[in-house]
Amino acid sequence: MRQSSYCRMAAINRRPAPAAARPTRPPLQPMRSLADLAQRGVVTALFGLSVYGLYVAYDVHTLILKRGQEVITRREAVGLPTDGKKKKLEYEIAQQAQLATPTPIPPTASSESG
């Protein structure tokens, strides 16, 4: 059905209801129980603990990276290898030592009685 222009205009120009007809605020909720307050406290504390754990994990991670960088800097200052070449260097030194002594050294009497 088609509405008349009067009905459409009345719907558009509808005025707000008087104050007495407006809905009132909902009634206040009853007091929360002790169990509800305890549960809310536990949940809030656990959430706070989780956030603190994330902060500490990040802080420890950055501290470890900082100390590692300090170790690399100290090793570079002394002249030691810093990129994992230590094992290779030790192997090369051991190999050179083996080549320098072509025959095994026999044990001496003093080292056997020792």
| pLDDT at position 114 | 46
| pLDDT at position 10 | 60
pTM, 2 dp:
0.44
| pLDDT at position 60 | 95
Question: CA torsion, points 90, 91, 97, 98, in degrees to nearest 10?
Answer: 160
Contact 92, 85 (CB under 8 A): no
* Cα 87 to the center of its chain, rounded Å: 33
| pLDDT at position 11 | 59
- Distance CA(27)–CA(84), nearest Å, equals 72
Contact 98, 105 (CB under 8 A): no
| pLDDT at position 21 | 63
Residues of the chain with pLDDT under 50: 114
